[in-house]
Amino acid sequence: MLRYLARRFVIVIPTALAVSFIVFVLMELSPGNYVQRRVENLRAQGVKVSQEEADRLMAEWGLDQPFYIRYWRWLRNMSRGNLGQSAVYGRSNLDLLKEAMPISVTIAVVGILISWAVAIPVGIYSATHQYSVNDYLLTLLSFFGLGTPVFLIALLLAWFSVTRFGFAPIGIIAPEYANQPWSWAKALNLLGHLALPLFLAGLTGTGGLVRTMRNNLLDQLRQPYVTTARAKGLLEKRLLLKYPVRMAMNPFISALAFVLPAIFSGDVVLAATLGLPTVGSYMYTAVAQEDPYLAGTLLLFYAVVVMTGTLISDVMLAVVDPRIRLGEGGSR
């Protein structure tokens, strides 16, 4: 177990380095850099900036250095908690991230919890009632969930909400509450604004999870040990929950690793549709307004969260499933 965990933790380092390298290459390929941007801003304000001054600024920020030195410096600065400055917002990237992170992470975590809570019972029902009318209905529904892009549902629901209730689920809180102290009305308003994104984040993984739960459970139910247990007269409910369901649960834990990226994919589009101040909204602005360093930092943030999620799910899998922690130690 320890050996497996140690190995799993060590893998994180090269992966993180490689991801950071990819992100840095993308940042380099993107048009625009901090100094260019700043010089443009200054010129737009009517300040005369000569070419020499611009070159001096480039040297000051180390942008005239070769690629590998800048990559090294970027890594070093990040390890000290310095994520650099955003040219578009005129603030430090770290501040922006701190502001947006809680919202994005909350939406992601609650979204995963919701999809677990829905997918487990629905998957069990679907598998135990295979080929029934309800099973077909649920299959159809989960296909809708699987195939439908989140932003389209967001658009349809937002339209519905505006025309039916006259409530525009835009932003995270209505402007009249923004600077007020906490009250029930404010909390309710916040909840109203968060309901749609939370629902959509939950929807992201649910369709796929229902399908996997159903298929895995069906595979398990065909196994001889189920027949044996049934022959011995075990109660159906107890039989189901004790072994097959437990065996079919692994995908739910590994869901952390593949539902998280999906939810984060939705994060960007949701931010644009519903005007939420998530990490995605900053990412979107950064790319649209050519601030590659902010965009890269945020992309790296997403990757780090996904890596953490994968790590947690791997550790949990090893705890839950002895085949995994023991299989790694053996000769294979």
Partner 1 sequence: MSANRVLASSRTFLSTWIERLRAGRKGAGPETEGDRDEEFYYASQWDLMWWRFRQHKFALVSAALLIVLYLVAIFAEFIMPYGAWDRVSEAAQAPPTRIHFRSPDGALRRPFVYRVARKVDRATYRWSYVESEDKAYPIRFFTRGRPYKLLGLISTDRHLFGTDGGVGVWLFGLDLLGYDIFSRTVFGARISLFISLVGVILTFFFGILIGGIAGYAGGLVDWGLERVGELLRTIPTLPLLVMLSGVIPKSWPIVQTYFVMTIILSFVGWVGLARVVRGRLLSMREEDFALAAQVTGCSNLRIIFRHLLPGFMSHLIASLTLSIPAMILGETSLSYLGLGLYRPAVSWGVMLADTRDIQAIAHLPWMLIPAVWVLVTVLLFNFFGDGLRDAADPHRM
Contacting partner 1 within 242-261 (CB under 8 A): 257-258, 260-261
Question: For residue 231, what is the enclosing H or E element?
Answer: helix 224-231
68, burial (CB in 10 Å: exposed 0-12, middle 13-18, buried 19+): exposed
Of 264, 278, 293, 313, the one binding partner 1 (CB under 8 A) is: 264
The verdict on 141 binding partner 1 (CB under 8 A) reads: no
168 or 320: CB nearest partner 1 = 168
Range in contact with partner 1 (rule: CB under 8 A) among 41-49, 117-125, 156-164, 186-194: 156-164
The verdict on 273 binding partner 1 (CB under 8 A) reads: yes
Contacting partner 1 within 23-52 (CB under 8 A): 23, 26, 29-31
Beta pairing partners, 145: none
CA dist list (Å): 264 to 60, 190, 249, 259, 278: 35, 21, 23, 9, 10
Contacting partner 1 within 162-221 (CB under 8 A): 162-163, 168, 170
**Residue 241 Cβ, how far from partner 1 at the closest point, in Å?**
26
The verdict on 147 binding partner 1 (CB under 8 A) reads: yes
Of 299, 314, 317, 318, the one binding partner 1 (CB under 8 A) is: 299
Closest CA to 171 of 294, 262, 295, 281: 281
Query: Which tokens hold the place of 183?
Result: 């009250």
- Given a contact cutoff of 8 angstroms between Cβ atoms, the answer to whether 243 and 225 are in contact is yes
The Cα–Cα gap between 231 and 191 comes to 51
Q: What is the CA radius of gyration of the chain?
A: 25
Rounded (10°) angle between helices 279-288 and 292-320 = 150
Range in contact with partner 1 (rule: CB under 8 A) among 38-46, 247-255, 277-285, 323-331: 277-285
Query: Which tokens hold the place of 45?
Result: 């304000």
Of 109, 226, 287, 316, the one binding partner 1 (CB under 8 A) is: 287
The verdict on 303 binding partner 1 (CB under 8 A) reads: yes
The verdict on 282 binding partner 1 (CB under 8 A) reads: no
Range in contact with partner 1 (rule: CB under 8 A) among 60-68, 234-242, 288-296, 314-322: 288-296
The Cα–Cα gap between 317 and 324 comes to 7
DSSP-assigned states of every residue in 198-222: HHHHHHHHHHHHHHHHHHHHHHHHT
Beta pairing partners, 85: 92
Of 1, 22, 105, 320, the one binding partner 1 (CB under 8 A) is: 22
Residues lying near partner 1 in the complex (CB under 8 A): 15, 18-19, 22-23, 26, 29-31, 143-144, 146-149, 151-152, 155-156, 158-159, 162-163, 168, 170, 257-258, 260-262, 264-269, 272-273, 280, 283-284, 287-288, 290, 292, 295-296, 298-299, 302-303, 306-307, 310
